[in-house]
């Protein structure tokens, strides 16, 4: 009886361990990264658009395996059958909290890092990191391996003093309290509160307004945002007005004040599908850090952005249907790992995709 009981327990443990191992292998984020043109200071490699009826080799910019489009399309068709395939990555906290630090420190970006994750590690808001690092503020999703970040011990803005600035004017600009700026030991202003032009000061609890990134649509798209004419023989299909998940994987970075998108991480080459019916408005290399970017105009005020791709399977002017494979996941542009940066814009305004996804 005892032997049988132990045997059954061991069998259960083995089954559970195997299940955990299989689940982990399907959601593990690769850490071996290929250098990207933007990260290395190079220009974009040649075109990566591939016709939907031919075999595909993923671009060197993103790496990947040799896969047939038919396989990708069959895989992509199953993406939205189970909403549970997209899971939220746990943000690991460490013992190093903000209240344990007295000064400003630096942090070196490593593989898999996100602003959201780094902020959680140090017990501050993601916006605080963005507002202390100009390159991050311009593109909070686009970190580079080895990038050095300034980390404040308190939430707020790290500001460079300009000519004619006063403590009161700075406080008003960032909606903060003048006395908090004067009293902060990080600023060493002394009793006189004298500001030195070009010096950087901490504005505790200061905030900045959000400005959406603008992509120059220079590939047969219109500046007015109207739906471009589809290719001959490819009649557009009316948008359903309901979106589906663009890929499978885990959410490595969520929607927050300066990152108004979802980052869905998986392996290089994972299929990405159109979230709704529409027409491809942009398909090319982005000069603002998105890497290889696809924009689908849905004709009803909505546009969806799919960034960091390793390859396209559609081109500008092509009508696409919801669930159709349009690209392959990559790590192009300023990216610390393979993922799809997914945005939904309504009349030009970035909205939270989780509000619209099933």
The 10s digit of each residue's pLDDT in 274-304 is: 999 999 999 999 888 889 999 999 999 999 9
Q: Return d(Cα 234, Cα 320) in angstroms, integer.
A: 9
Q: Range of 198's domain?
A: 158-205
Is residue 246 within 8 A of residue 196, CB to CB? The reply is no
Q: Return d(Cα 39, Cα 289) in angstroms, integer.
A: 9
Pairing of strands 302-312, 66-67: unpaired
Could you tell me which of 279, 282, 313, 272 has the C-alpha nearest to residue 298? 279
Please tell me whether residues 167 and 239 are part of one structural domain.
Answer: no
Q: Return d(Cα 93, Cα 128) in angstroms, integer.
A: 17
Is residue 284 within 8 A of residue 247, CB to CB? The reply is no
- DSSP classification of residue 302: E
The 10s digit of each residue's pLDDT in 72-108 is: 333 333 344 343 345 444 333 333 444 356 799 999 9
343 pairs with which residues across the strands? 305
Please tell me whether residues 251 and 306 are part of one structural domain.
Answer: yes
Whether residue 342 lies inside any domain: the answer is yes
- Output the CA–CA distances (angstroms, integers) from residue 228 to 236, 280, 319, 347, in the order listed: 10, 8, 10, 16
Is residue 212 within 8 A of residue 260, CB to CB? The reply is yes
Please tell me whether residues 252 and 185 are part of one structural domain.
Answer: no
* Total number of domains in the chain: 2
- Output the CA–CA distances (angstroms, integers) from residue 212 to 288, 334, 344, in the order listed: 12, 17, 12
> Roughly how many angstroms between the first and final C-alpha of the chain, as a whole number?
50
Assign 42 a pLDDT band (cuts: 50, 70, 90): very low
Please tell me whether residues 273 and 307 are part of one structural domain.
Answer: yes
Whether residue 48 lies inside any domain: the answer is no
Q: Which helix (H) or strand (E) holds 102?
A: none
Please tell me whether residues 224 and 338 are part of one structural domain.
Answer: yes
Instruction: Give 338's contacts (C-beta < 8 A, 6+ positions apart).
Output: 29, 30, 62, 265, 266, 267, 268, 270, 308, 310, 329, 330, 331
Whether residue 235 lies inside any domain: the answer is yes
pLDDT at residue number 116:
81
pTM of the prediction?
A: 0.57
Whether residue 350 lies inside any domain: the answer is yes
Q: Which range is least confidently modeled, 5-19, 103-117, 305-319?
A: 5-19
User: Helix (H) and strand (E) counts for the chain?
Assistant: 8, 17
The CATH number of the domain holding residue 333 is 2.70.70.10
């Amino acid at each position: 009886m005892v032997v049988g009981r132990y045997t059954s327990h061991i069998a259960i443990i083995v089954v559970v361990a195997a299940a955990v191992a299989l689940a982990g292998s399907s959601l593990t984020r690769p850490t071996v990264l290929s250098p990207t043109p933007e990260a290395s200071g190079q220009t974009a490699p040649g075109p990566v658009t591939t016709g939907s009826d031919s075999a595909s080799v993923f671009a060197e910019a993103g790496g990947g395996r040799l896969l047939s489009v038919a396989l990708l399309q069959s895989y992509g068709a199953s993406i939205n059958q189970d909403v549970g395939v997209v899971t939220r990555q746990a943000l690991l906290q460490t013992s190093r909290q903000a209240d344990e630090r007295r000064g400003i420190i630096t942090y070196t970006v490593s593989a898999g890092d996100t602003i959201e994750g780094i902020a959680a590690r140090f017990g501050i808001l993601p916006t605080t990191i963005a507002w202390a690092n100009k390159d991050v503020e311009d593109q909070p999703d686009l970190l580079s391996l080895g990038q050095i970040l300034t980390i404040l011990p308190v939430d707020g803005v790290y500001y460079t003093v300009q000519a004619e600035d006063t403590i009161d004017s700075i406080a008003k600009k960032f909606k903060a309290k003048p006395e908090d700026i004067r009293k902060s030991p990080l600023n060493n202003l002394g009793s006189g509160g004298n500001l030195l032009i070009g010096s950087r000061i901490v504005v505790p609890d200061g905030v900045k307004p959000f400005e959406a990134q603008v992509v120059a649509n220079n590939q047969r798209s219109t500046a007015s945002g109207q739906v471009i004419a589809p290719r001959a023989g490819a009649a557009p299909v009316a948008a359903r007005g309901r979106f589906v998940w663009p890929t499978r994987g885990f959410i490595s970075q969520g929607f927050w004040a300066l990152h108004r998108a979802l980052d869905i991480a998986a392996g290089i080459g994972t299929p990405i599908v159109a979230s709704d019916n529409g027409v491809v408005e942009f398909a090319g290399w982005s000069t603002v850090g998105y890497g290889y970017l696809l924009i689908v105009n849905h004709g009803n005020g909505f546009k969806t952005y799919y960034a960091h791709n390793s390859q396209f399977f559609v081109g500008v002017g092509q009508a696409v249907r919801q669930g159709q494979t349009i690209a392959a996941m990559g790590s192009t542009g300023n990216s610390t790992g393979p993922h799809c940066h997914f945005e939904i814009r309504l009349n030009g305004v970035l909205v939270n995709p989780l509000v619209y996804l099933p």
